[in-house]
């Protein structure tokens, strides 16, 4: 019997933690050696340590501590720190999740170093090239061996872009694995009592995307819309560090209550008991869909269209009048709860089976290997090494 597979799992920011934890657990249950690397892209206590505690994630085996900076600075620092680590650890495979700068940085280093690369949440597309996350998603998929898709539309995107079927695996949504495994604990939270809230009698707001919070004009328009909504349904807004300064400068309308960032369990409890959630977060679109809570997305597009087609999410854009009319319609006639197939709490098990049964870097086709039909369509397709 050979040595267990050594797999590096990378996390860098708060949205990653909920995605990497179930994958680590599923791999370790099957005997893999998992090395957890935290790049340190998010590094303040409210966005980092509390999530590790809430989710029961063990301390990282390696902490790169790259901190903030421009996209180029952050990506470059992660690459420079991750390259010698990868050389030292010499894993069989690397797992990256999501679409942050750390995801792309570690993907590029891995692709050049040679281990197999797996991308969790592959194939998500907003079609909005002005989103840094969209660039990160597309580039990460291109160098990945395993494209682990959370929904059928994501798998369809990958096929349309020309990826081989042996690369694409529809596994379900790891965020929902974490949600379901922590939901009862979250429901025991006292966060509603702390804020004097009653179930079903408030709206929850999150704002963090640069397109929404970095431009004072856009943010002012969003706050105007939220102020009108708050006249009908009081709103709670846990303040993302990115938005804190802007909100302090502009001030917020009456009926909107600013509170500190919430830990994972408290935030799930707040979503679970909300009458409506207004957000620009992809993860929140997914969590509200799984919880059956009405969600209004304050963006012009979404890379998670399945939450609109199969869930409780409605895309409202960023026009104040449209936002207010959309929220009023949702409050008057909430969408019926629907949950996409494979959002069942078992995605991480499927991922582990794919990774541990998929062979080695020496035996697998790699991302640049092409499958082309054999001459005159006879027999099997042949492999052409590019």
d(CA 138, CA 233): 38
Q: Do residues 102 and 13 lie in contact, with contact meaning Cβ atoms separated by under 8 Å?
A: yes
Q: Which residues pair with 209 in a beta bridge?
A: none
In Å, how far are 146, 151, 167 from 27, measured between CA atoms? Answer: 15, 21, 19
Measure the N-to-C terminal CA separation of the chain; round to a whole number of Å. Answer: 34
Q: Which residues pair with 236 in a beta bridge?
A: 204, 257
Helix/strand/coil percent split, the chain, to 5: 45, 15, 40
Per the annotation, the verdict on 208 as an active-site residue is yes
- Angle (CA) 352 31 165, round 5°: 25
358: three-class secondary structure by DSSP:
coil
Q: Which residues pair with 257 in a beta bridge?
A: 236
Task: Output the six-digit token pair for 233.
Answer: 């349904």
Q: Quick one: which of 127, 128, 139, 129 has its CA closest to 101? A: 139
Buried b (16+ CB within 10 A) or exposed e, 296-328: bbbbeebbbbbbbebbbbbbbebebeebbebbe
Pairing of strands 33-38, 62-63: parallel
38, 42, 169, 208: which one is catalytic?
Answer: 208
In Å, how far are 10, 40, 43, 107 from 69, measured between CA atoms? Answer: 19, 12, 12, 19
Tokens 């999150």 belong to 206
d(CA 257, CA 39): 33
Element counts in the chain: helices (H) and strands (E)? 16, 15
Q: Do residues 249 and 214 lie in contact, with contact meaning Cβ atoms separated by under 8 Å?
A: no
Catalytic residue numbers read 208
């Amino acid at each position: 019997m050979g040595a267990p597979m050594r797999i590096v799992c990378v996390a860098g920011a708060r949205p990653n933690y909920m995605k990497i934890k179930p994958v680590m657990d599923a791999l370790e249950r099957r005997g893999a050696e998992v090395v957890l690397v935290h790049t340190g892209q998010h590094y303040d206590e409210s966005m980092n340590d509390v999530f590790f505690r809430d989710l029961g994630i063990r301390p990282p085996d390696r902490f790169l501590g790259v901190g903030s900076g421009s996209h180029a600075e952050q990506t470059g620092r992660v690459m420079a720190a991750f390259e010698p680590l990868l050389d030292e650890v010499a894993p069989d495979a690397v797992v990256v999740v999501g679409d942050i700068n750390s995801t792309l940085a570690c993907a590029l280093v891995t692709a050049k170093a040679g281990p197999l690369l797996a991308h969790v949440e592959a194939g998500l597309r907003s079609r909005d090239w002005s989103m840094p996350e969209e660039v990160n998603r597309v580039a990460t998929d291109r160098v990945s061996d395993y494209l682990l898709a959370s929904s059928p539309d994501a798998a369809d995107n990958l096929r349309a872009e020309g990826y081989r079927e042996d690369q694409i695996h529809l596994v379900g949504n790891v965020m929902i694995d974490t949600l379901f495994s922590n939901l009862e604990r979250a429901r025991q939270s006292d966060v509603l009592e702390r804020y004097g809230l009653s179930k079903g009698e408030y709206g929850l707001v999150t704002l963090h995307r640069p397109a929404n919070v970095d431009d004072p004009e856009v943010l002012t328009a969003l706050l105007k819309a939220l102020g009108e909504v708050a006249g009908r349904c009081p709103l709670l807004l846990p303040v993302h560090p990115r938005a804190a300064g802007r909100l302090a400068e502009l001030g917020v309308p009456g009926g909107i209550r600013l509170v500190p960032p919430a830990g994972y369990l408290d935030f799930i409890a707040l979503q679970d008991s909300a009458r409506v959630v207004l957000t620009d977060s992809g993860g929140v679109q997914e969590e509200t869909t799984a919880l059956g809570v009405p969600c209004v997305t304050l963006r012009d597009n979404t890379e998670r269209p399945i939450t609109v087609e199969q869930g409780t999410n409605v895309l409202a854009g960023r026009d104040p009048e449209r936002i207010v009319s959309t929220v009023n319609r949702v409050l008057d006639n909430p969408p019926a709860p629907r949950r996409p197939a494979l959002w069942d709490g078992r995605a991480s098990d499927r991922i582990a089976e794919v990774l541990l049964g998929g062979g080695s870097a020496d035996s697998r086709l790699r991302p640049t290997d092409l499958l082309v039909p054999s001459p005159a369509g006879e027999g099997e397709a042949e492999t052409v090494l590019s």
